[in-house]
Structure 1
Amino acid sequence: MDHKHHSPKLTDKPGDAAETPAEEQAEQHIGHDEHSGPQKMGMDHSHMDHSKMGHGGHDHGAMIADFLRRFWICIVVSVPVIALSGMFQNLVGYQLSFPYQTPVILVLASFIYLYGGWPFLTGLVGELRNRQPGMMTLVAVAITTAFVYSVAVSVGWLRGMDFFWELATLIDIMLLGHYIEMKSVAGASRSLELIVQMLPSDAHKVDGETISDVQVDTLNEGDIVLVRPGERIPTDGDIIEGDSAINESMLTGESVPAQKSVNDSVIAGAVNGEGALKIRVTHKGADSYLNKVVKMVEEAQGAKSKTQNLADRAAGWLTFISLSVGIITLVAWLLAGKDLAFAIERMVTVMVTTCPHALGVAIPLVVAISTGISASKGLLIRNRTAFEEARKITAMVFDKTGTLTEGAFGVTRVKTLKPDIDEATMLALTAALEQQSQHPIAEGIVREAQKRDLKLPAIADFQSITGKGVSATVDGKKVLVVSPGYLKEKNIEQPKDAFGNGVETVVFVLIDEVLIGYVALADRIRDDSKEAVQRLQESGIKVYMATGDNKQVADAVAKELGLDGVFSEVLPDQKVNIVKDLQAKGQFVAMTGDGVNDAPALAQANVGIAVGSGTDVAAETADIILVNSKPTDITNLVEFGKATYRKMIQNLLWATGYNVIAIPLAAGVLYPDFVLSPAIGAVLMSGSTVIVALNAELLKRSMKTN
């Protein structure tokens, strides 16, 4: 039953039509780089660049263990260094000395500097090589200055008191702080790791009567695999035997298991319920839904947004400020008459306390958490900037079919006009013809006949009447299933009660050109559509609908949902004009569509959202992909995008605000009333980073409330 389409019509309020001006089409494709293999998220400590978060999960785990190992070893070695320090002995009030004490302390302190400080020293080299001095540069300069000065005092080159014990405690605290921070980052990427772990390594391959266990990566399209009750599904595929409830919660965010049977599609990583299934492989390896999810999440986590660039610039400036203030502090205290030891201690404290560590992790932590959790909830982010800019959305354009509605026509009424033909007989006759068609309306009629377990009569001479319907011969009689247009063309009067509430599509059944009845169908509005529309409107977003349906149907749906406007009789490639028109009026537009027919509009929109279930995740033009087609998921996405941006700004404000206070304290502006030691400065710096990490973790609460 082909629908006639015309130029887009806009009804600002359902019932008032207005023409939308034609404009040029937008670019139809936004590409993205392909990456060959999965990368688990983590802090790149190989060069200690805390603005980057991409290297192997195994390497990251080894780095965490290495920092912890260095911390414990240095703690043990620090005990005698601290105990033998003259300054510490004077502070505590005891005396301890023995021959060759100074060389012993020098050797132990050198070990702590080289072994414990090695990650920071190599980080310095990496940052300077990349011409991006940052946190590692500051820490390395600070501990090197303290070490060189203390060595010079120990060997008699300079007069004064060494502070080997401050150096030892400083390195110990820095190692512990880094360990805690790296554990936080590892936790932030846990959601992605859980997704990766969902894919089994083995599968039960069926070859005739033989069942053998094989590696999943050896499977090819068309192979048959057996999935026993309770096992994870090893590969994307179609069920060819059996039925079971499938738990796809970690893949789609849908908590209720979905009942699947023959011909239904299943996704790798989902958990099989109580029934055994045989599945024909449809996607393997990198083409599987799960791998596409992992790849998209990694790309989103690795991509830098405007907010990230802002944090990077701030961290860079703070590094130069810290170095400059450190040198100025050294010179100022020397000019003030203080000894070299005191001046160097103030300089070291400034550099350690004001490390831009919190700034370096403020945004990447939020990125890792938000993209990981989103993926586990069925929200796949391809464009981080678009996701963060969800807060700016002022207009949301929904595609109707499959988004606001279920996308599957269901029979609402079956009416026979002949007393000798009952409802079941007419429906079976209609379904017999429609089973030859792939049209959604035809599929809805066939589904209804199957629900009623009707036996369909045999047909012959099947023909499709372009734009009007279908015909065939049944028991020697010509049967037609046609649209209202056919009745008008043949001057056959339509029953007065055929069209009811305006949202139904009606097909008429004729036998030998005599009207015997009709079947009414409707694309049912989703249960959560009204809630989604209301929530968006409450947040100040105008909600529109674009559909290819006729004005009567479009207005009826818009009225029931309370939309701000509706565009009717729109061809897929005309939706881009709708988006452009709204943008010309100053609106920040989000467009939702299926990612294929709506490609121009998705590309033109400020935020393009592709909706679709199952394995349809390859919407190249969309910024964000929703695995489920639930309208409330779109609302959740907007709200979560706002929460993510808020966390980024909070972290930036905390990280910069902390340094505004820390720099003067470290420089000694409150001396002699208050003096900040290098060790306490390191504690404060590490504490600032932990606070940023904990604040980012609060995003999980925001997601739970959606």
Structure 2
Amino acid sequence: MKVKIIEVKNLFCLICEDKVSEIMKEIEGVLEYKTNIYTKEIYMKYDPTKVRFREILRTLNEKGFLTSDSGSFLRKECLLLFLFVVFHFHWIFINLNDSIVSLLVSSAFQYYNLKDLLMFHSFNKNFVVTISSFLCYLLGIWMFLIEEYTVVSIEYLTLSINIFTFILISSMLLALIVNMTKLNLYSISQIQRKFVKKLDINKEKIIEFQTLALEKLLPGDVICLNIGYVYVDGTIIKGACLVDESDISGEDCLKQRKKNDKIYSSTKIIDGDILLRVDRVGKESYTGKILSLIEDSSFKNIFCRNKTPSFYTSCVLCTSLVVATGFFFRSLDVEDLYPKVFRMFISTMISLCPCVFVVSEPLIALKARKYLLSQNIIVNNFSHVFECSPKVVFLDKTGTLTKGFSEVQDYRIYKDLERNASIIMNMEEKYQNTVYGSVYRLMKSIKGDFINTTNIDVFYISGSGIRCCYDSQEIRLGKKSFATNSSSQKKSLVEKYHKKERIVYFSIQFKIEGYFILSDNINPSAHLFVQTLKKEYSKVIVLSGDQKANVEKVSRSLGIEEYFYEQTSKDKMGTIMNYFKEGKPSIMIGDGTNDIPAFRASGLSISVNLNNTSADVILLSDDLNGILVALQYFKKMHYKNLTNYIFAVMYNLIVFIWLIQTKTDSIDISCISMMASLTFIVVNSLLF
């Protein structure tokens, strides 16, 4: 059995995910798989004795999906590294001055180098290293065409290979870390293909039912839906249902939907049957819009990029150009002026070149990965860890600061505890959420001989509570006005003593027979976590889709002054973008699907939910102190990386000044200084 990760570029919505699942089910030898439309990847286990990996890719491509193997780039790097080793073995032990071999090998390296060079849009450390390698190659080719410079040309061609190897090693380390991380996060949940009943309607009469695959649905079609997930956006034209919209809002609260109400993709129908007129499918649906938001939020690299390497590399290019220009005007009467000016330009660039910067971050990341994994922390994207210098921390409430469910703080059932507990438990069993789920767990824990109430009919009234009829008695559980069937504003004694708590009343024949006092189950580690964040960062802000009263209560209890409530995915992303535009990069800490656009918009994203793999950092436990451990360790990584930068810059400047004062353009001296700097950085990166 083998594990592979397939990247799929055109995964746009839940219908695409469903189509991929159907294709994978039909391929013999595929054992398990999971499609993630937010990362646009398929995690897969397959039997190589029954099916080849290329056959799986070809099948997906034939069905219209643009696929690639996430490990294919790593294989190319391994091939180039092997070629590098063979070349140096040949160069040292067989023929030192074999110009043809040097030309062929350097050309192969520069083929890949040139492709990378054309993709750069800014001056960063990789750009300078890449351009240095390419210029050495051009100078080597130039001298190769002049017979008397054959030996020197080999030196330049070899140097171009050696410089490119810095990028090669860096890419290999980063690719290795990414693939190892993804495989650690690998988890499987089979996804069954969804079929729906499409209805042909003529004068409001159903004249035909037909089973239709989701991907063939069009706006205007009418479909029949019952319990399960909704994969399209639409309007209810007949019937009613109880829905869970937690994947949209992030809040676990059941809602009633009836005729003319809107239903969005990612909604889960808990109970009921409806006829739904399809309004939007695919990329135009709610889930498709979420993916568009994720793609639009790619601007974060502009705001979060570490400016130090970019500034230094720009200085290297300018300095090299100034030195070469000065040498040109001072040596107008020298023979072979242009090759020497070019040599001076390259010598200056190599002596100042931030080649060692390229390997600093991957080596530190490789060291850090092992330690963080031992602390139940997985880093999905080390690039954002190094690039972002956050000033603001955004926190989701439900599932992050709170445990995602309410807790019964106190309760009273005035009489017949076991009988009434049995009725309440059966009423709540079907409609468990953050409110009623906590009452259900409490009632289930009460010991006794419960009566059989499994056959009672229970009804959920959205925004009010649950009701049923048992033994010819009306039994209700919910708000006071609902339980008593009265709109009286007179406060009970319980309400006077518990002004800020949420109270669920239990009534029989509209007479209060008990109550449950609920409170948000705040994570035990949240208080210390928030206080530490407030000391380290300029602002700590709550972003939540919950109601104002709940968000305000939790925020104040944790000492957080600023909070946003009733936030949609788009609202959260917009808030983070506004802070970015003010020059305040941020950390987003959350757990839900609705947090993914905010994750992608933030400088650094942290998920406290293992199932949400779209974040840069994933916490494997519910202890928020693990995030503090990660953030402190990230600071150590930044400090170590800064130490490498300072040493490299100072060392290179000393060598550069010495070269200028001695008026030498020796490539050998430049290379020796570069290797000495590299040795220090490798050792320093691994010792922390």
TM over 0.5: yes
Q: After superposition, where does 1:6-155 map in structure 2 within 5 Å?
A: 36-37=66-67, 40=70, 56-77=73-94, 108-111=97-100, 113-114=102-103, 117-118=106-107, 134-141=131-138, 143=140, 151-152=147-148
Q: Does 1:377 align with 2:377?
A: yes
Q: Does 1:186 align with 2:180?
A: no
Q: Which residue of the partner structure matches residue 158 of structure 1?
A: none
Q: Which residue of the partner structure matches residue 102 of structure 1?
A: none
Are the aligned partners of 2:136 and 2:157 in contact in 1 as well (CA < 8 Å)? no
Question: Structure 1, unaligned stretches of length 5 or more?
Answer: 1-30, 42-54, 82-107, 155-163, 204-215, 224-295, 702-706
Q: Does 1:470 align with 2:466?
A: yes
Q: Does 1:407 align with 2:404?
A: yes
Q: CA deviation at 1:405?
A: 0.5
Picking from 634, 655, 662, the partner of 1:670 is 662
Are the aligned partners of 1:414 and 1:518 in contact in 2 as well (CA < 8 Å)? yes
Question: Structure 2, unaligned stretches of length 5 or more?
Answer: 1-37, 42-64, 121-126, 195-293
Q: Which residue of the partner structure matches residue 355 of structure 2?
A: 357
Q: Which residue of the partner structure matches residue 538 of structure 1?
A: 535
For 1:545 and 1:388, how far apart are their aligned partners in 2? 24
Are the aligned partners of 2:405 and 2:433 in contact in 1 as well (CA < 8 Å)? no
Distance change in 2, residues 1:221/1:332 (3 Å):
same
Q: After superposition, where does 1:227-626 map in structure 2 within 5 Å?
A: 307=305, 311=309, 315=313, 318-319=316-317, 321-322=319-320, 325=323, 329=327, 349-350=347-348, 352-355=350-353, 357-358=355-356, 377-378=377-378, 380=380, 388-393=387-392, 396-418=393-415, 421-422=416-417, 424-452=418-446, 455=450, 457-458=452-453, 460-486=456-482, 489=486, 496-497=493-494, 504-545=501-542, 557-565=554-562, 570=566, 572=568, 579=575, 588=584, 592=589, 602=598, 611=607, 613-617=609-613
Are the aligned partners of 1:391 and 1:641 in contact in 2 as well (CA < 8 Å)? no
Q: Which residue of the partner structure matches residue 192 of structure 2?
A: 221
Q: Which residue of the partner structure matches residue 252 of structure 1?
A: none
Percent identity between the aligned chains?
18
Are the aligned partners of 1:39 and 1:57 in contact in 2 as well (CA < 8 Å)? no
Are the aligned partners of 1:412 and 1:521 in contact in 2 as well (CA < 8 Å)? yes
Are the aligned partners of 2:459 and 2:466 in contact in 1 as well (CA < 8 Å)? yes
Q: Secondary structure at the match of 2:81?
A: helix
For 2:439 and 2:581, how far apart are their aligned partners in 1? 43
Distance change in 2, residues 1:174/1:453 (3 Å):
farther
Are the aligned partners of 1:411 and 1:445 in contact in 2 as well (CA < 8 Å)? yes
Distance change in 2, residues 1:38/1:635 (3 Å):
farther
Are the aligned partners of 1:188 and 1:697 in contact in 2 as well (CA < 8 Å)? no
Letter in 2 for 1:67: F
Are the aligned partners of 2:323 and 2:344 in contact in 1 as well (CA < 8 Å)? no
For 2:148 and 2:430, how far apart are their aligned partners in 1? 93
Are the aligned partners of 1:462 and 1:472 in contact in 2 as well (CA < 8 Å)? yes
For 2:308 and 2:676, how far apart are their aligned partners in 1? 22
1:268-306 CA-partner distances (Å, limit 9, x unpaired): xxxxxxxxxxxxxxxxxxxxxxxxxxxx99x99997776
For 1:573 and 1:516, how far apart are their aligned partners in 2? 41
For 1:60 and 1:614, how far apart are their aligned partners in 2? 31
For 1:521 and 1:587, how far apart are their aligned partners in 2? 41
Distance change in 2, residues 1:662/1:509 (3 Å):
same
Q: Secondary structure at the match of 2:477?
A: strand
Q: Secondary structure at the match of 1:440?
A: coil
Letter in 2 for 1:403: T
Are the aligned partners of 2:407 and 2:518 in contact in 1 as well (CA < 8 Å)? yes
Are the aligned partners of 1:409 and 1:524 in contact in 2 as well (CA < 8 Å)? yes
Q: CA deviation at 1:526?
A: 0.8
Q: CA deviation at 1:443?
A: 1.8
Letter in 2 for 1:561: L
For 2:302 and 2:544, how far apart are their aligned partners in 1? 35
For 1:658 and 1:334, how far apart are their aligned partners in 2? 31
Distance change in 2, residues 1:330/1:357 (3 Å):
farther
For 1:549 and 1:110, how far apart are their aligned partners in 2? 70
Q: TM-score, normalised on structure 2?
A: 0.57
Distance change in 2, residues 1:71/1:542 (3 Å):
same
Distance change in 2, residues 1:538/1:362 (3 Å):
same
Q: TM-score, normalised on structure 1?
A: 0.56
Q: CA deviation at 1:545?
A: 3.6
Q: CA deviation at 1:432?
A: 1.9
Q: Secondary structure at the match of 2:662?
A: coil
For 1:345 and 1:576, how far apart are their aligned partners in 2? 53
Distance change in 2, residues 1:587/1:432 (3 Å):
farther
Letter in 2 for 1:684: S
Distance change in 2, residues 1:152/1:450 (3 Å):
same
Larger Rg: 1
For 1:581 and 1:115, how far apart are their aligned partners in 2? 49
For 2:458 and 2:587, how far apart are their aligned partners in 1? 44
Q: CA deviation at 1:661?
A: 3.0
| Structure with bigger RCO (C-alpha 8 Å, 6+ apart) | 1
For 1:666 and 1:221, how far apart are their aligned partners in 2? 68
Letter in 2 for 1:535: T
Are the aligned partners of 1:326 and 1:351 in contact in 2 as well (CA < 8 Å)? no
For 1:179 and 1:584, how far apart are their aligned partners in 2? 36
1:185-204 CA-partner distances (Å, limit 9, x unpaired): 42333222224556999x9x
Q: Secondary structure at the match of 1:460?
A: coil
Task: Give the alignment's Cα RMSD to 1 decimal.
Answer: 5.7
Q: CA deviation at 1:521?
A: 3.0
Q: Which residue of the partner structure matches residue 670 of structure 2?
A: 681
Q: CA deviation at 1:684?
A: 1.8
For 2:131 and 2:657, how far apart are their aligned partners in 1? 20
Distance change in 2, residues 1:558/1:315 (3 Å):
closer
Q: After superposition, where does 1:187-202 map in structure 2 within 5 Å?
A: 187-195=173-181, 197=183
1:132-168 CA-partner distances (Å, limit 9, x unpaired): 881123322554577677x4289xxxxxxxxx4x877
Distance change in 2, residues 1:428/1:321 (3 Å):
same
For 1:571 and 1:338, how far apart are their aligned partners in 2? 68
Are the aligned partners of 2:479 and 2:505 in contact in 1 as well (CA < 8 Å)? yes
1:100-157 CA-partner distances (Å, limit 9, x unpaired): xxxxxxxx453564356545665787689889881123322554577677x4289xxx
1:359-398 CA-partner distances (Å, limit 9, x unpaired): 666678889999999999345559x7798445232xx443
Q: What is the aligned residue count?
A: 515
Q: CA deviation at 1:66?
A: 0.7
Q: CA deviation at 1:40?
A: 4.8
Q: CA deviation at 1:442?
A: 1.6
Q: CA deviation at 1:59?
A: 1.0
Are the aligned partners of 1:457 and 1:474 in contact in 2 as well (CA < 8 Å)? no
